[in-house]
Amino acid sequence: MTEPGTAIGPEAATGSAGAVVETRGLTKRYRGGQLAVDGLDLDVPGGSVFGFLGPNGSGKTTTIRMLMGLIDPTSGTAQVLGQPMPDAACTVLPQVGALIEGPALYGFLSGRDNLLRYDSADPTADPRTRRVRVAQALDRVGLAAAAGKKAKAYSLGMKQRLGLAAALLQPRRLLVLDEPTNGLDPQGMREIRTLVRELAAEGTTVFLSSHLLDEIEQVCTHVAVMARGRLVVQGPVADLAAGARGRLAVTTPDPGDAARVLKERGLTGVTVDGDRVSAEAPPGDVELADLSSALVHADVRLRSFGIERASLEDAFVALTGEGFDVAG
């Protein structure tokens, strides 16, 4: 098993070269002794879509608030865009777009007027092109048709979109998103994932915090896994999944007999879900051909048989020995 906090893949060799976000020993202990983040060493490569993954309460939002200078760490250091935070906040934050714990909106103003207020508060924003930027940001997040509606009438998903539009009013070197698909329907989630990919293709580093394994696996190039305030592992998504063993999957109209045969052959973690039977991947000295032959000889009819690629959920369970709340 990989040691907690271990880097995998190329980052293990290159260290923090080219890191857009870098922390060393970053720790936050609240009054009363609650340890929210414990000795975090994080490296976010430039140009990546970096998934910050962990169950609710694992320390993700506290980490982001420290990175953005909203709260001070108890100990340790954080650098964003090569500058120390929070000391360099005035230099760093104009280059960062952020959506943290949901957007702060004026309910009595329209979506468009909320963005105009946000933009006018930015000393670097050119007032001559303000309305054009606002219109482009609204269109990019799919809110152009609802731009004139008051924000208090927006659904949770629409408010999330509006907060994301505010983060996109200016070109950003880094975009920090805390649970950006919260409240969105499946179509809205797909649209946000597409937008994140587009932003990364344009050169923006995206730091995306989520408790949804599927979301991270679909859109991110790199990932860090948090559990109980500590970093479990970080590195490229493909390397993390590859480091976990897949599962044997059998589809058959005879699931009971298939499960019995697999158990008799020494496989563990056997589960049955309808006509699908799965088990922990067999050790290297067990031939898949022998397993399929045993099933056939037991008159188990096979519709499909093989090893499924390991997912991030498999990797998380392998690394921590515990399950993961994929539904939130």
- pLDDT attached to residue 115: 96
Indicate the number of domains in the chain: 2
> Which residues have C-beta within 8 Å of that of residue 270, sequence separation ≥ 6?
259, 262, 263, 277, 278, 279
- Residue that has been written with the tokens 């649209």 in this structure: 191
Among 242, 270, 298, residue at a domain's last position = 242
The token pair at 197 is 């990919």
Looking at the fold, whether 118 and 153 belong to one and the same domain comes out as yes
pLDDT value for 317: 61
Q: 277 by DSSP, 3-state: which?
A: strand
pLDDT in tens, 184-232: 888 888 888 888 888 899 899 999 998 777 778 788 999 998 888 999 8
Rounded Cα distance, 209 and 227, in Å: 13
* Residue 190 shares a structural domain with residue 49: yes
Q: Is residue 108 part of a domain?
A: yes
The whole-number pLDDT of residue 188 equals 82
CA nearest neighbour of 105 among 93, 96, 113, 94:
113
Residues 116 and 16 both lie in one domain: yes
- CATH code of residue 137: 3.40.50.300
Pair 61, 119 in one domain: yes
Task: Let me know whether 235 and 261 are in one domain.
Answer: no
272: containing domain: 247-308
Domain match, 299 and 266 both: yes
This prediction has a pTM of 0.73
Residues 94 and 113 both lie in one domain = yes
The answer to whether residue 214 sits within a structural domain is: yes
Q: Which residue is it, tokens 């994932």?
A: 193
Say yes or no: 118 and 174 in one domain. yes
Q: Distances from the Cα of 286 to the Cαs of 109, 259, 318, in angstroms? A: 65, 17, 21
Do both 223 and 99 map to the same domain? yes
243 and 2 Cβ atoms separated by less than 8 Å:
yes
Helix H or strand E segment including 29:
strand 19-29
Three-state DSSP state, 98: strand
Q: In the prediction, which pLDDT does 328 show?
A: 35
One domain, residues 217 and 260? no
Residues 50 and 143 in one domain: yes
165 within domain boundaries: yes
Domain identity same for 22 and 107: yes
CATH number, domain of 303, equals: 3.30.70.100
List average pLDDT for each run of 10 residues in the chain, which is 328 residues long: 45 54 96 91 95 86 93 95 93 90 88 95 90 95 94 90 91 90 82 87 92 80 90 84 72 94 90 90 79 92 81 61 46
| Domain end call among 242, 264, 292 | 242
- Comparing CA positions, the residue from 70, 72, 63, 71 lying closest to residue 44 is 63
pLDDT per position as a tens digit, 256-283: 999 999 999 988 889 999 999 988 878 7
Q: What is the DSSP string of 185-246?
A: -HHHHHHHHHHHHHHHHTT-EEEEEES-HHHHHHH-SEEEEEETTEEEEEEEHHHHHHTS--
Return the percent helix, strand and coil in the chain, to nearest 5: 35, 25, 40
Say how far apart CA 160 and CA 165 lie, in whole Å: 9
